[in-house]
């Protein structure tokens, strides 16, 4: 049997791809090595742009009331200025985001794809692509201890930043300018949190950046720190030391955590950012989400782009239907990467450059001092950080 589409990976990118295809009666199979619900190392911040996509997928009722919403941003750490503002109202985006633990969000998304008609196989590890004459025609996998081969007209790699399929087809680009590492830990008893997504480019951890994201209103928070590989190599940064500094010795974050207790291990993962860490496609295969290096280089936010590229991949695949042959992905005729470049490259390039050159306290301090005093500037900063434009 040949599937129309096989999606490797059932995170936000894979589930979104499968949901949009299944809704249009495409025969789609999702494979994930894990059994859901499963944890995923993340800050759990669901920005307004991602919320727009989740609501469009019909999930508003399921999310509303169940998870903590935030309506504003707090951004501080270089100097005394604190930029604090409500999310500016726009006709296109909701005025709020959520903090949802990935153990919950990813199960909701995968179930949603299943309910739309996608076939899902959990505990099925993709080990590589099936290749015929240079074209990917499916995947090899291990399921129930057995090696299997599954064929498809189109294969989608939604298998995260270490993408097995992307790696096997030579699509991953390991450039430290487009790679980062972040680590996070859950705490209880965190003070002065609630309605804000809080980002802290604290001077003591420059050029890294920290965050405190409120999972609940009663003091449970996701606390983390991240830095670009480029900076880590250059400045010999130890991220665990940065984390210790963030929680014990910074003016904005340490006071919030003085009575807090960790309730999970400290764990980290790789980020591929700014579209520079992946070539995205080859005949028969396209990559989405982290596998396609679709993380915002400034905010480290990738759920938005996982969901959006999932939807774009579905549209792209639907547009390649050929009479009598089903779907047929050929980058030489119709490039998925070009569509991503059109939509995101300009914004991502500005982000990559501003992190490379501007993520320093001597630059941030005067910038935050000016921005904090003017509402329009504050709103512009939020729009820029969260790409609340198109
Ligand atoms: C510490 C940290 C904090 C972050 N904070 C935020 C945040 O607050 N907000 C935000 O928007 N983004 C954040 N991100 C980024 C975000 O986590 C990712 O962008 C997002 O998870 C991408 O979704 P995805 O579906 O592409 O990949 P993933 O979520 O990684 O999903 C990939 C799926 O593929 C499966 N898989 C992998 N290999 C195989 C295989 N060989 N066979 C079968 N299945 C496989 C995995 O089990 C997984 O379910 C953070 C990242 C890190 C590391």
Ligand 1 center from residue 356 Cα (angstroms): 23
Distance from residue 371's CA to the centre of ligand 1 (Å): 32
Question: What is the number of residues in the chain?
Answer: 390
* Residue among 17, 20, 31, 32 whose CB has most ligand 1 atoms within 8 A, to mutate: 32
Helices (H), 24-65: 48-56, 60-63
Q: Decide whether any atom of ligand 1 lies within 6 Å of the 180 Cβ.
A: no
For residue 177, report the distance from its CA to the centre of ligand 1, in Å.
19
For ligand 1, atom 15, the nearest C-alpha belongs to 302
Contact 13, 7 (CB under 8 A): no
Q: Which atom of ligand 1 is nearest to the CA of 126?
A: 42
Q: What's the DSSP call for residue 111?
A: H
- Parts of the chain with a pLDDT under 50: none
Atom of ligand 1 nearest to the CA of 183: 1
Residue nearest to atom 21 of ligand 1 (CA): 303
Q: What is residue 359's predicted lDDT score, i.e. its pLDDT?
A: 67
- Which ligand 1 atom minimizes the distance to the CA of 295? 19
Q: 279 CB less than 6 Å from ligand 1?
A: no
Q: For ligand 1, say whether the CB of 281 is within 6 Å of any of its atoms.
A: no
Residues 6 or more apart whose CB falls under 8 angstroms from that of 184 comprise 41, 42, 43, 222, 223, 224, 225, 266, 267, 268
For ligand 1, say whether the CB of 182 is within 6 Å of any of its atoms: yes
Measuring from atom 3 of ligand 1, which residue has the nearest CA?
A: 42
- Domains of the chain: residue spans and CATH: 2-69+97-174+272-355 (3.50.50.60), 177-271+357-386 (3.30.9)
For 162-174, b/e burial (b = at least 16 CB within 10 A) is ebbbbbbbebbbe
pLDDT at 355: 85
Phi and psi (nearest 5°) for 280? 75, -35
Ligand 1 pocket test, candidate residues 43, 162, 199, 278, most atoms within 8 A of CB: 43
Q: State pTM to two decimals.
A: 0.97
For the CA of 267, the nearest atom of ligand 1:
1
Q: What are the structure tokens assigned to 364, written together?
A: 């941030």
The residue whose CA has the least distance to atom 46 of ligand 1 is 9
Strand partners, 66: none
Distance, first Cα to last Cα, the chain? 40
CB 306 less than 6 A from any atom of ligand 1: yes
For residue 354, the 8-state DSSP code is I
Exposed, middle or buried, 383 (CB in 10 Å: 0-12/13-18/19+)?
A: middle
Ligand 1 center to 300 CA (angstroms):
12
- Within 8 A by CB and 6+ apart from 180, the residues are 226, 227, 228, 229, 270, 271, 273, 295, 300
């Amino acid at each position: 049997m040949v599937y129309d589409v096989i999606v490797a990976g059932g995170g936000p990118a894979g589930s979104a791809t499968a949901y949009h295809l299944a809704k249009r009666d495409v025969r789609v199979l999702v494979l994930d090595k894990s059994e859901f619900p499963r944890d995923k190392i993340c800050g759990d911040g669901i920005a307004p742009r991602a919320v727009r996509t989740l609501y469009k997928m019909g999930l508003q009722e399921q999310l509303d009331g169940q998870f903590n919403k935030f309506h504003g941003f707090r951004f501080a750490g270089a100097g005394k200025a604190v930029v604090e503002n409500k999310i500016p109202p726009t006709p296109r985006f909701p005025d709020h985001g959520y903090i949802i633990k990935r153990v919950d969000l990813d199960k909701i998304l995968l179930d949603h794809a299943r309910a739309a008609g996608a076939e899902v196989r959990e505990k099925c590890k993709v080990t590589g692509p099936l290749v015929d004459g240079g074209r990917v025609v499916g995947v090899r996998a291990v399921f129930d201890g057995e090696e299997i081969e599954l064929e498809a007209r189109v294969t989608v790699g939604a298998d995260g930043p270490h993408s097995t399929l992307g790696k096997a087809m030579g699509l991953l680009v390991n450039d430290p300018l487009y790679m980062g590492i972040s680590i996070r830990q859950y705490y209880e008893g965190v003070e002065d949190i609630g309605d804000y997504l809080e980002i802290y480019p604290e001077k003591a951890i420059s050029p890294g950046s920290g965050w405190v994201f409120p999972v609940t209103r009663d003091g449970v928070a996701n606390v983390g720190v991240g830095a670009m590989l480029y900076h880590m190599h250059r400045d010999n940064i130890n991220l665990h030391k940065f984390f210790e500094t963030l929680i014990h010795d910074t003016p904005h974050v340490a006071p919030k955590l003085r009575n807090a207790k960790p309730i999970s291990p400290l764990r980290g993962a790789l980020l591929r950012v700014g579209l520079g860490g992946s070539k995205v496609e080859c005949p028969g295969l396209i990559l989405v989400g982290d596998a396609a290096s679709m993380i915002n280089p400034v905010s480290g936010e990738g759920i938005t782009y996982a969901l959006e590229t999932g939807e774009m991949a579905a549209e792209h695949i639907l547009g390649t239907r050929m009479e009598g042959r089903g779907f047929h992905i050929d980058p030489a005729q119709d490039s998925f990467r070009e569509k991503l470049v059109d939509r995101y490259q300009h914004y991502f390039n500005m982000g990559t450059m501003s992190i490379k050159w501007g993520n320093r306290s001597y630059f941030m301090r005067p910038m935050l001092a000016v921005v904090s005093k003017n509402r329009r500037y504050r709103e512009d900063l939020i729009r820029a950080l969260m790409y609340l434009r198109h």
